[in-house]
């Protein structure tokens, strides 16, 4: 293959990579603009991972107390507002549907030990770990296909922690 064709292939690869990256960003922006606001209660977890930088490992109450043998390896965690200002798990299911009124799907995956719903980490400014000690809920925007974007952490009064 000539040098000209190699350059064309490299250029096309770069264009495709940039296009896919921009598509991913555009999809996340749509979720942030149009997604349903969901608050999930966080399960107790060590607020910082040592030697890993400034971030918090997130675990959700909706993902606890589940027998991994009883749910599909990946699928949707169906949540619904509970009347107390946050969302509770209703069930896990393999497919997006059926959904009943008021229910919201959030995509999940599992490994041998855990269920992972939405984002599992929250990064924050260096030296600000103490600010997030009061976090009790994770706020997400979720689209109708179960894709989610973490938008912040909230305290016990469901106020955004800043």
Residue range 13-50, pLDDT digits in tens = 999 999 999 999 998 889 989 988 998 898 766 555 55
Section 110-117 average pLDDT: 92
On the question of pLDDT at 100 being above 80, the answer is yes
| CB-CB neighbours of 116 under 10 Å | 17
Q: What is the pLDDT of residue 55?
A: 80
This prediction has a pTM of 0.78
Structure tokens at 17: 């990579």
Percent of the chain with pLDDT over 70: 93
pLDDT for the residue numbered 47:
52
Report which of residues 116 and 127 the model is more confident about. 116
Residue 129 tokens read as: 């770990």
Phi, psi of 24 (to 5 degrees): -60, -45
pLDDT given for residue 128 in this prediction: 79
Cα 37 from Cα 152, distance rounded (Å): 11
pLDDT of res. 117: 94
Judged by DSSP in three states, 143 sits in: coil
Q: How far apart are CA 54 and CA 7, in angstroms?
A: 41
- Measuring CA to CA, which residue among 130, 135, 112 is closest to residue 60? 135
Mean pLDDT of 99-114: 94
Task: Dump pLDDT digits (tens) for 82-91.
Answer: 988 899 999 9
pLDDT value at position 17?
Answer: 94
Helix (H/G/I), strand (E/B), else coil: 158: coil
With H, G, I as helix, E, B as strand and everything else as coil, classify residue 68. helix
Query: What value does the mean pLDDT of the chain take?
Result: 89
Q: Could you tell me which of 104, 95, 52, 90 has the C-alpha nearest to residue 74?
A: 95
């Amino acid at each position: 293959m000539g040098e000209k064709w190699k350059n064309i292939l490299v250029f096309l690869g770069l264009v495709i990579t940039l296009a896919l990256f921009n598509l991913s960003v555009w999809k996340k922006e749509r979720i942030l603009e149009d997604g349903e606001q969901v608050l999930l209660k966080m399960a107790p977890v060590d607020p910082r991972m040592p030697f890993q930088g400034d971030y918090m490992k997130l675990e959700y109450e909706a993902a606890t107390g589940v027998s991994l043998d009883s749910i599909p390896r990946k699928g949707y965690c169906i949540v619904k507002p509970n009347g107390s200002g946050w969302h509770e798990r209703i069930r896990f299911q393999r497919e997006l549907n059926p959904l009943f009124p008021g229910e919201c799907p959030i995509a999940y995956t599992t490994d041998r030990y855990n269920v992972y719903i939405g984002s599992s980490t929250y990064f924050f400014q260096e030296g600000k770990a103490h600010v997030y000690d009061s976090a009790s809920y994770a706020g997400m925007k979720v689209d109708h296909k179960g894709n989610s974007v973490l938008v912040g952490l909230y305290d016990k009064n469901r106020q955004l922690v800043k």
